[in-house]
Structure 1
Amino acid sequence: MKVLVALILLVQLPVHKAVPAAPPPPPLGCDDPESEAAAELAVNYINDHSHHGYKFALNRIENVRVLPQGPNNQILFLELDLLETKCHILSPVPLENCTVRSFEEHAVEGDCDVKLQKLDGKLSVLASKCHSHADSAEDVIRVCPDCPLLENLNNSEVLTGAAAALNEHNSKTADAYLKLLEIGRARIQFHPVRLVFVEFAVAATNCSAEESKANVDACQLLPEDESNFGFCTATIATEPTTDVQVDCKLYGHQPGVSYPHPGQDTSAGLLPNVQGFTNHNLRLSHNNPVASESSSSEFPTSVIAAKSVAKRAVAEAAQHDKVVRPVGFAPPPPPCPGRIHYFKI
């Protein structure tokens, strides 16, 4: 009897069902606001740590991966496609006001892997690895057969043209005598008139252009606390007649902005790593020195290897997806890659 009563009481006890665990959040998409904010921070970081060539702008977020590290702590890995702008790296113009070079100007693309940490809602860059390359000549010619292509920065015509353009400026200005820092890019048009288009960074010296005529060797770059950098664009006609058109603008002193090799002889406007190349490679590999040891700035090989695997998986899934869809069905866009901001090369 006691056993029967116990069973009846047991049946009447409230049943507490297990609450199912909350589903994991959906993967972060490449066009999500959080990804865009992380990419903006990453691009600014890359430009701030680049010392030669031009600023780059975001063209596309290729992939984003989030690794939870604990409460309010995440590690983000971004794969970014960038495009070269017309702003030299020394220019004070904000990136959002810099014009991206058009496809017809022989665009230069940057590929970057960036590691960030989001701790208590605040993003910071831990490390970045980048390289850049010009679009293929075949791609440019296919769209614009008559467009001049990028020329090697150490091409003799380019060097001669840059020197002639700077001499032309210094011979006519009443302001500071300028010295060449580096050639940024150059193109050559072969017909109907042979033209050299060259862009180069310059710096003011402690001499006026008039004073330099007496002893140009005495003209030295201004010290860092007075430095004044600038930029020149020039068009030099060499055939059938010779003509030089040059426009130089100084930026004015920018506290905290320096050129990394002020003591180097830059009379040729070249650095050892650009000879034989058409563009300054965004060969940037930088680890944030303030990154904590627990958030190592190293890129795990598993993440890097996962790139090709993920892209191959997406392609295979698209190829083998034979599911019949109703008329008018529009599948949601994949979370990555993201939208193209300018153009694809």
Structure 2
Amino acid sequence: MKALVALILLVQLPIHKAVPAAPPAPLGCDDPESEAAAEVAVSYINGHSHHGYKFALNRIENIRVLPQGLNDDIIFLELELLETTCHVLSPMPLANCTVRSFTQHAVEGDCDVKLQKLDGKLSVLASKCHSHADSSEDVLRLCPDCPLLASLNNAEVLTTVTAALSDHNSKTADAYLRLLEIGRAKIQYYPVHIVSVEFAVAATNCTAEEAKDNVEACQLLPDDQSNFGFCTAKMLTRPSKDLRVDCQLYGHQPGVTYSQTGQDTSAGLVPSVVQGFTNHNLRLSHNNPVASESSSSEFPTCMLSVKSVAKRAVAEVAQHDKVPHPVGFVPPPPPCPGKIRHFKI
């Protein structure tokens, strides 16, 4: 009898089943983990760019994490970047590089980056980028008198670069400089006519004095002695003529190379630039051969576009509005896209 009573009581006890652990909440674009991944991605992009300028993070537009196993995740990032004033050859740390303002005719970069986080360590597996200058209409709407970017192979631009480099070489007692690439140019037409240019240079094995006798013999220094630099120049052509040039050499940087041979503008040669382009496109597509994760399909087609993310965020906020909330309730911000660090372009 006692056994029967005990059995009945046992049956009446609540049965507690093990509840599976909830999956981790998806990362938001402004979460510390997302920002850490973006920092690694931007550093990688700048380190593998061979032309133009360094870019800084403006916004994390989307993030997606695909768990692969214990302490092993694949992370997909969509990033919006902005061009800085530092050339890719400059040793200046990115944190000290100034982002070009909107009125300076900003250049935006858009990048998809695939990373692996293995045992807490982030590494980039692949990246795809492109960049473009803001529309002239947008700049002129805010600043009607601001000069716009000019084509890198514009005749006035090439003339100014040639004159500027020739002027520098004629006045220096140091190494003879050769042109590597024109980075940026603007032309102001009113009230005075000014052509402003920026270009990368490299030192040769000749002094400027030696180059006067046989400039063709002056070659760029070998990689273990290379010395890159950067010049800015402004040429006033109307109402009077004036040329101002400033060139700075960075000094030798071990491991830093340039992918193309420099050309000498003092002899009338110009760099190979694409017809009509106003900026170097941040095209970048790279797979890391030592990564443990295959990169055969770098970016999933199911990644949400920025517009779809924004629409989803609006829908979620609208849904919140339909549900009664206590007075003073503030709905949480959408997880993506993230905050704008500089300005919207």
TM-score bin, normalised by smaller chain: over 0.9
Deviation at 1:243, TM superposition (A): 1.1
Contact 1:126–1:297 (Cα < 8 Å) also in 2: no
Partner SS, residue 256 of structure 2: coil
Q: For residue 115 of structure 1, what is the aligned residue in structure 2?
A: 114
Structure 1 distance, partners of 2:28, 2:114, is: 16
Per mean C-alpha deviation after superposition, the further-off stretch among 129-138 and 322-331 is: 322-331
Deviation at 1:308, TM superposition (A): 5.0
Contact 1:183–1:269 (Cα < 8 Å) also in 2: no
Q: For residue 23 of structure 1, what is the aligned residue in structure 2?
A: 22
Q: For residue 174 of structure 1, what is the aligned residue in structure 2?
A: 173
Unaligned regions of 5+ residues in structure 1, if any?
Answer: none
Q: For residue 253 of structure 1, what is the aligned residue in structure 2?
A: 252
* Root mean square deviation, CA, Å: 2.0
Deviation at 1:12, TM superposition (A): 3.4
* Corresponding position: 1:32 with 2:31: yes
Partner SS, residue 63 of structure 2: strand
- TM-score, reference length from structure 1: 0.92
User: Once superposed, which parts of structure 1, at least 4 consecutive aligned residues long, lie more than 2 Å away?
Assistant: 4-16, 264-272, 294-322, 324-329
Partner SS, residue 56 of structure 1: strand
Partner SS, residue 281 of structure 1: coil
Per mean C-alpha deviation after superposition, the further-off stretch among 216-225 and 316-325 is: 316-325
Q: For residue 342 of structure 2, what is the aligned residue in structure 1?
A: 342
Q: For residue 270 of structure 1, what is the aligned residue in structure 2?
A: 271
Deviation at 1:266, TM superposition (A): 6.0
Aligned partner letter, 1:66: V
Contact 1:115–1:297 (Cα < 8 Å) also in 2: no
Contact 1:153–1:270 (Cα < 8 Å) also in 2: no
- CA deviations 1:21-77 (Å, max 9, x no partner) are 222221111111111110000000000000000000011111111111111111111
Structure 2 distance, partners of 1:204, 1:172, is: 15
Q: For residue 227 of structure 1, what is the aligned residue in structure 2?
A: 226
Aligned partner letter, 2:56: A
Q: For residue 59 of structure 1, what is the aligned residue in structure 2?
A: 58
Unaligned regions of 5+ residues in structure 2, if any?
Answer: none
Counterparts of 1:136-147 in structure 2, within 5 Å, are 136-147=135-146
- CA deviations 1:144-198 (Å, max 9, x no partner) are 1111000000100000000001111111111111000000000000011100000
- TM-score, reference length from structure 2: 0.92
Counterparts of 1:189-200 in structure 2, within 5 Å, are 189-200=188-199
Structure 1 distance, partners of 2:219, 2:138, is: 43
* Corresponding position: 1:131 with 2:125: no
Distance 1:319 1:9, change over 3 A: closer
Contact 1:181–1:269 (Cα < 8 Å) also in 2: no
Aligned partner letter, 1:233: T
Deviation at 1:319, TM superposition (A): 5.6
Structure 2 distance, partners of 1:163, 1:180, is: 9
Aligned partner letter, 2:76: F
Deviation at 1:6, TM superposition (A): 6.4
Distance 1:196 1:301, change over 3 A: same
Contact 1:229–1:253 (Cα < 8 Å) also in 2: yes
Q: For residue 291 of structure 2, what is the aligned residue in structure 1?
A: 291
Aligned partner letter, 2:193: R
Aligned partner letter, 2:271: L
Percent of pairs with identical residues: 68
Aligned partner letter, 1:290: V
Per mean C-alpha deviation after superposition, the further-off stretch among 319-328 and 108-117 is: 319-328
Distance 1:79 1:266, change over 3 A: farther
Deviation at 1:321, TM superposition (A): 5.9
Partner SS, residue 270 of structure 1: coil
Structure 1 distance, partners of 2:301, 2:260, is: 37
In the alignment of these two chains, the number of paired residues is: 339
* Corresponding position: 1:11 with 2:8: yes
Distance 1:266 1:335, change over 3 A: farther
Structure 2 distance, partners of 1:155, 1:315, is: 45
Per mean C-alpha deviation after superposition, the further-off stretch among 21-30 and 181-190 is: 21-30
Distance 1:266 1:214, change over 3 A: closer
Aligned partner letter, 1:210: E
- CA deviations 1:290-336 (Å, max 9, x no partner) are 122x4436324433466554343334445666525554332111111
Contact 2:263–2:271 (Cα < 8 Å) also in 1: no
Structure 2 distance, partners of 1:223, 1:287, is: 28
